[in-house]
A and B are shown apart, each in its own frame.
Chain A
Amino acid sequence: AQKVTQAQTEISVVEKEDVTLDCVYETRDTTYYLFWYKQPPSGELVFLIRRNSFDEQNEISGRYSWNFQKSTSSFNFTITASQVVDSAVYFCALSEARNSGYSTLTFGKGTMLLVSP
């Protein structure tokens, strides 16, 4: 069965600190996708990134960066110079192929990030 583990339930940092959110996954699929979503207080999940299982290059987008390590089944997310607006719950997710031929996402339990001024 697919599984996504986000061991950090809550992280508190002070503005401008760097912070890394951990994600470890389990899958038997050879081809899969990993995602990060942000859920601000409004509740709507916002897509941040998708990474396929064949691309282990790290990715940087502004203050955000992602480290995909297939050998350790991890897909960690780092926010550099955190800001108060980064405060949200962050979910890591793994694509899951269903028998009917489509895919859906298996989500971790999320990490709540609190950035204080």
Chain B
Amino acid sequence: GAGVSQSPSNKVTEKGKDVELRCDPISGHTALYWYRQRLGQGLEFLIYFQGNSAPDKSGLPSDRFSAERTGESVSTLTIQRTQQEDSAVYLCASSLNPGLLNTGELFFGEGSRLTVL
């Protein structure tokens, strides 16, 4: 597609339920990033993919969070046993080159707003 697409755009769930958030990056972009944006806060790095591999998962806040990427394309961020503090906007971004020192910018989707009741 023309841009990064994320779904769902809004998700309301009950505490304890699992949720899956999907990201379709720009075609051909090898690098894919997940960020979390809590209300009134900056963006918090979660995980990065180079192709289908995740070289660094240290940004994931707990073991309830996991992510995968297949076909060097779609990525899914899964949050198990959701807690109220997981409420945030989850943003996905992609770029042509994983080394930000060599490329222009990240292209962001519009985010998935997660509300945990």
Contacts and interface: CB of A to CB of B under 8 A. Distances in A.
Interface stretch (A14-22, A58-66, A72-80, A99-107): A99-107
Given A4-B42, A100-B56, A107-B43, A35 B105 contact: yes
A31 interface: yes
B24 to A, nearest CB: 14
Contact of A104 (B48, B91, B110): B48
B2 interface: no
Interface residues of A, number: 31
Interface of B: 3, 31, 33, 35, 40-45, 48, 50, 55-56, 89, 91, 93, 98-101, 104-111, 113
Interface of A: 4, 31-33, 35, 37, 42-47, 50, 52, 91, 93, 95, 97-110
29 contacts: A4-B42, A31-B101, A35-B105, A42-B110, A43-B89, A43-B110, A43-B113, A44-B3, A44-B111, A47-B104, A50-B104, A52-B101, A91-B43, A93-B43, A95-B101, A97-B101, A99-B56, A100-B55, A102-B31, A102-B48, A102-B55, A103-B101, A104-B33, A104-B100, A105-B45, A105-B106, A107-B42, A107-B44, A110-B42
